[in-house]
Amino acid sequence: MAVDKQFIDGTLALDAQEDTLNFMERVGFAKTINYTESPGDHPDGMKVNQATLDDVPLGQKVKPLHLEAVDDSASAASVIADQLRAGRVVVFHDTVFVSGEPTMVIGFR
């Protein structure tokens, strides 16, 4: 399966980024396997995140992606616990730009 990298505007709010990623996963028949702030210098100081999408085969069910922002390690533990109780599993966690600010984000599915 091919891996594709796409850029997401880091000035968007977290729910808008979540919707954008879910949209791309559906129309592109892919699933996000990593999400991080885009490395390197960008023109005009743009704040950009980079999603890594992996193609899925025909018919494979991909659960919707859900993003949660966390402030520190303490809240991360409770966020993960809440999501696990809701039947979701952690897909990735990394620092990404949310509304232009670097934020620790955990992706669940």
Partner 1 sequence: MRSTSSSARIQSCGLLLLLLGTTGCAGRLERPKLLRLVTTEIYTYTTFTTDLENYNGASDEATRRRLRDHMAYGVMAEIERVYRNYETSLFMNRGTFNVASDFVQLGLSTATTVTNGERGKTILGALLSGVTGVSLSYDKNFFRQQTVQAIISSMQAARNQVKARIISRLGTQDTAEYPFEAARADLIELFFAGTLESGLQELHQEAATAAASSKQELKTAVPASKQDVTNAVSVNEAITAALQSNNPDDRRKVVDFLNALGANVTTTTPVETLFEQSRQVGRATYTDADKRKKYFDAARQAGLIH
Answer yes or no whether residue 26 interacts with partner 1 by CB under 8 A: yes
Q: Which of the stretches 14-22, 75-83, 86-94, 97-105 binds partner 1 when contact is defined by CB under 8 A? A: 14-22
Measured distance CA(51)–CA(39) in Å, rounded? 12
Q: How far is CA 76 from CA 14, 26, 71, 94, in A?
A: 16, 28, 7, 12
Measured distance CA(20)–CA(72) in Å, rounded? 25
Residue 98 neighbours by CB under 8 Å, 6+ apart: 10, 12, 13, 14, 17, 69, 105
CB 71 → partner 1: shortest distance, Å?
24
Answer yes or no whether residue 7 interacts with partner 1 by CB under 8 A: yes
By CB under 8 A, what part of segment 42-101 binds partner 1?
A: 42-43, 46, 48, 55, 58-59
Q: Give residues in contact with partner 1 (CB under 8 A).
A: 4, 6-9, 12, 16, 19-20, 22-24, 26-30, 38, 42-43, 46, 48, 55, 58-59
